[in-house]
A and B are shown apart, each in its own frame.
Chain A
Amino acid sequence: MTRPMNPPNPPNPPKATWQTDSPGPRKSTRSLQRARRRASVARFWRRYRTHRAGVAGLAGLTLLAVLALAAPWLVGDDVQSVTRAPGRALEPPSGAFPLGTDQFGRSLLGLLVWGSRISLTVGLLAAALSVAIGTLVGVVAGHYRGWISTAVMRITDWFLVMPTLVLAIVLATVLSRSVWTVILAIGVTTWPTTARLVRAQTIAVESRPYIERAKALGGGHRHLMTRHVLPQVMPLVLAQTTLGISAAILTEATLAFLGLGDPTVVSWGGMLQDAREAGAVSSGHWWYLAPPGIAVALVALAFTLCGRAVESVLNPRLGVSR
């Protein structure tokens, strides 16, 4: 579906030979591949650049990633400390505390920056886990067909109709409270859509003649799946991951807000939960509620914008989009 003109291990050298002067056959294959990859990345970037929303999302993400990585130097680990909190409880925004303080007197701006680390980590890892499970299931189901496919897809369907959040809540309740539990809970509840997508793509790929040729040459199941199918579904998986991250971040915030996260870890959802527990809603302390909520929304937006752009670059058949 995507990159149809680039089958892996092509029998005939493509037009991209202009970069190499082929010193030897083995080395030239490898450098050829590298060159082609470079070219396709460059082509991808050229096409990606045309999506303004995608670029905006990417810029936002870069900024956020820098903030999150630099948080220990920007705000310091001390920002989480309740015993060394600098302010009074629930102070409104001021020069010293641009976003006010929480009920322990900690700076909300500092907590917001610090919380981005957990929100991003959980979002990335949970989406990666979810997509990994989905890809594995999807490729297996698409490759084997028959009763294996039927059985695996019925399980997938079962997970698909289960309300994700309810399942995640149950998991997070049963397991001990930690960041890893949340990652696991999100990961194992959101994979079915990826599995279905990947299975469809696998079936499409496997109907191509070169798969038949590989089979004829003696390629086993494992070889076919890892060498021929997987590279072809990767673009789809990449797009799905990017989109999945925003969902995972929202789910993480939701779980933390529901009090199912690790209470000693600062995250955006956890901040919302703390705000609710302090009664910030009814007492009108909007500066406690709004920043983490907006931050969650913005990050989810940024990831979605990127995901959409990636998707439409890799899959031109999706139609118009900017």
Chain B
Amino acid sequence: MITTAHHRSPGPALFLRSRAGRRPHPLLRLLLAVGIAAPTLIAGPPQAQAQTRAEAQAWPRAQAQAPAAVPGTGQLMDSPASAVGTRVRADEGNSDGKTDGKDDKSNGDGKTGAGNVLTVAVSQSVDSLSPFLAQRLVSTSVHRLIYEYLTNYDPRDARPVPGLATAWSPSADKLTWTYTIRKDSTWSDGRPATAEDAAWTFGRMMKDPGAATANGSFTANFAEVTAPDPETLVIRLKKPQATMTALDVPIVPKHIWEKVGDFSTFNNDTRFPVVGNGPFVLTDYKVDRYIRLRANKNFWRGAPKFDELVFRYYKDGDAAVAALRKGEVSFVPHLTPAQAASLKNAENIQVNDAPGRRFLALATNPGARAKNGGRFGSGHPALLDPVVRRALFHAVDRQTIVEKVFQGHAVEGEGYLPPRFSAYFWKPAASQRIAHDPAKAAALLDEAGYRRDGSGRRLGKDGRPLDFRVLCHATDPHDKAVGKYLREWWGELGIGLRVVCLDNVSDPWLKGDYDLAFDGWSVNPDPDFVLSIHTCSALPATPADTGATDNFICDERFDRLYAQQAVEYDAARRGDLVRQMQSRLYDTGFMNVMVYPNALEAYRTDQIGSITTMPEAAGNLYGQDGYWSWWSAEPAAAGGAASDGGGSSPAVAIGIGISVVLVIAVGILTSRRRRATADDRE
């Protein structure tokens, strides 16, 4: 693309020709140039663009953090004693003695050869393969596959289920947690995985800030971690912590990682295979080309059905869909509505359209500030007026966004957490709800003294027109599309909006240089993390620092509720507190959730026979809170991989069309040239 466009420039050629005194036929040159340019314009973007796009697909600020930081759950109090050590149905009948038998069986299955490869199209670049540094969705998903965590989440209801730990129990004072570590988990180099490995992993994160980069929030409250014997892990806490059954920290082998010098720079991508104990073993990785994993035949829960799992990079969504149609990949996430609609009619392809675990909100800058009281940033002063914020949200028609921008593949926004997390879901009461009502929005502004001037523009208190900026991810089509609607809705109120789309929104965001922003997060089964980012303690220490805060919100009541829920071990009571927090957040009016986008993904049914969604009823496959989808995926019975999707024919037709036009053009040109030079020839 780049070279093509460069050569296209007529400049250098003209220069050369002028000196040489000769030139090829202009029409010929042009048609050739157009012939080269047209397909490239249509075909797809170059790497540079696609790269950044992929990164932002994960909501650079948002999703990056989320999967890593999945704090606790309140499930425990339901049956404090019996929950301990309860095995889920999935691992029934998989006792220690059967490991060898399973191994044999898998080897027997393996006789089909290399055909058992599950290929997944991904676009997000890996930030690091070190579990101590990785924060992006793709990297943490890989870690789920190659390392065991103390606990996992049930695919049906996201209840904590055994992982490396088979049982766990808190002490009476809620400050000491004892985990029983399973005996049947071995590292891929043959050594057993023990409590010593877990204790070392947590201990390292407590001692070394470099190792606490990604998941430090889990261990910040740890006082001491010990392993009295290989099957017992004891964690002592400074104060109660509700996330103790949802510690999303990959446990790494001590005998490998104690040789690592600097945890803040080691990316775990130099020696393959990477020693692990998850359902898969990482065997190879090439930056932005592929991540290759081999099934761990000795996995305690049972070996995966596919022999190999490959995450292959497609920086362009259309290219990934084309590959799916051809059967080159088995699974494609993040479809557009148009792609999903056309894939629905394709043969052997199943489209999964399920409620997602993400929300897309509109955040207003509440005046960026630091813990030391320092104010910074350039947020619009008018947005500090609750009436203005309320009026803006009143003018937003969420239903239209769902219908037009997401074309139905989303749910209208209500509270902060998506409805999928029913234990914590909250929706505003009729009295506090900011419904779509443009007339009311205009009335509110009129009452508050924001008058229109002669040209219809709404004037602020300082007499200047209200003009806001909204920060959008240049790489996210949804942001841009919603921005178009906002511009028109708010334009009718007389409020101007400039949609500032950037590849890297973090810089202005962290500096507080925004008025409004599109804000989205993936929510984990435990909402602790997505709530913590709105507390005062998440603010940066000084204006020069970077805090974990999402939108510089600092509200005393919200913080009080947050502190209460963090130490609340009772599920029902904690759920109630979380709902109160959302109600408070809604009333402050700094955040307004517009939609909960669906997970829109597709896979080939002739390659994947069955696969587990999470939650099992209407759940997503890519980016789950566990390894269920890829671990459970079964190859399709008949290997009818050689089939093509019907939809690829238009592309072929276009290609043929262009070739035909080119051939005809060249033919005409040749004949004209012959005529033109006829005089010379005779």
Contacts and interface: CB of A to CB of B under 8 A. Distances in A.
Interface of A: 53, 81-85, 89-90, 103-105, 160, 163-166, 169, 173, 176-177, 190, 192-194, 196-197, 240, 243-244, 246-247, 250-251, 253-254, 257-259, 263-264, 272, 274, 276-286, 289-290, 293-294, 296-297, 300-301, 304-305, 307-308, 317-322
B651 A196 contact: no
A172 B45 CA distance: 16
A254 B46 CA distance: 11
Contacts of A264: 483-484, 487, 499
A253 B34 CA distance: 13
Contacts of A304: 10, 26, 30
B383 interface: no
Return the 3 tightest CB-CB contacts between A and B, nearest first.
A193-B11, A279-B336, A283-B342
B10 A259 contact: no
Contacts of B321: 279, 282-283
Nearest to B498: A264
B484 A82 contact: yes
Given A104-B404, A247-B10, A279 B318 contact: yes
Interface in B639-672: 647, 649-651, 654
B293 to A, nearest CB: 27
A257 B41 contact: yes
A174 B575 CA distance: 45
A176 B500 contact: yes
Contact of B318 (A89, A282, A307, A320): A282
B45 A276 contact: yes
B304 to A, nearest CB: 29
Contacts of A294: 38
Interface in B486-520: 487-489, 499-503
Contact of A197 (B15, B27, B325, B487): B15
A207 B28 CA distance: 36
Interface string B100-133: 0000000000000000000000000000000000
A197 B318 contact: no
B335 A279 contact: yes
A170 to B, nearest CB: 10
A82 B404 contact: yes
A257 B477 CA distance: 13
A84 B404 CA distance: 12
A318 B641 CA distance: 58
Contacts of B5: 164-165, 250-251, 254
Given A103-B338, A165-B6, A272-B41, A281 B34 contact: no
A108 to B, nearest CB: 14
25 contacts: A53-B27, A82-B484, A83-B485, A83-B489, A85-B404, A103-B407, A104-B481, A193-B12, A194-B11, A196-B15, A244-B10, A247-B10, A259-B501, A263-B499, A264-B499, A276-B318, A279-B335, A279-B337, A279-B339, A283-B338, A284-B647, A284-B649, A286-B654, A297-B37, A305-B30
Nearest to B645: A282
B533 interface: no
A260 B358 CA distance: 27
B317 A197 contact: no
B79 interface: no
Contacts of B319: 282
Given A318-B23, A319-B23, A163 B318 contact: no
A231 to B, nearest CB: 20
B42 A293 contact: yes
B322 A247 contact: no
Binding site of B, secondary structure by majority: helix, strand, loop or mixed?
Answer: helix
A164 to B, nearest CB: 6
A259 B49 contact: yes
Contacts of B10: 243-244, 246-247, 304, 307
Nearest to B17: A318
Contacts of B338: 89-90, 103, 278-280, 283, 285
A276 B404 CA distance: 17
Contact of B26 (A192, A263, A321): A321
Contacts of A85: 404
Contact of A258 (B30, B42, B45, B400): B45
Interface string B446-459: 00000000000000
Given A166-B2, A263-B499, A283 B488 contact: no
Interface string B40-81: 011111101100010000000000000000000000000000
B8 interface: yes
Binding site of A, secondary structure by majority: helix, strand, loop or mixed?
Answer: helix
B12 A254 contact: no
A165 B9 CA distance: 10
A296 B33 CA distance: 12
A300 B11 contact: no
A259 B14 contact: no
A301 B34 contact: yes
B551 to A, nearest CB: 22
A2 to B, nearest CB: 12
Contacts of B89: none
Contact of A278 (B41, B45, B477, B501): B477
A164 B317 CA distance: 27
Contacts of A300: 30, 34
Q: Which of A104, A196, A305, A308 has the most CB of B within 10 A?
A: A308
A244 B43 CA distance: 25
Nearest to A1: B18
A322 B45 contact: no
B44 A281 contact: yes
A256 to B, nearest CB: 11
Contacts of B435: none
A166 B341 CA distance: 35
A297 B34 contact: yes
Nearest to A191: B11
Interface in B342-361: 342-343
A59 B458 CA distance: 46
Q: Which of A83, A240, A296, A317 has the most CB of B within 10 A?
A: A83
Contacts of B650: 284, 286
A172 to B, nearest CB: 11
B6 A164 contact: yes
B144 interface: no
A85 B1 CA distance: 34
Nearest to A280: B338
Q: Which of B41, B46, B472, B485 has the most CB of A within 10 A?
A: B41
Contacts of A276: 44-45, 318
Contacts of A305: 26-27, 30
B255 interface: no
B605 interface: no
Contacts of B318: 276, 279, 281-282
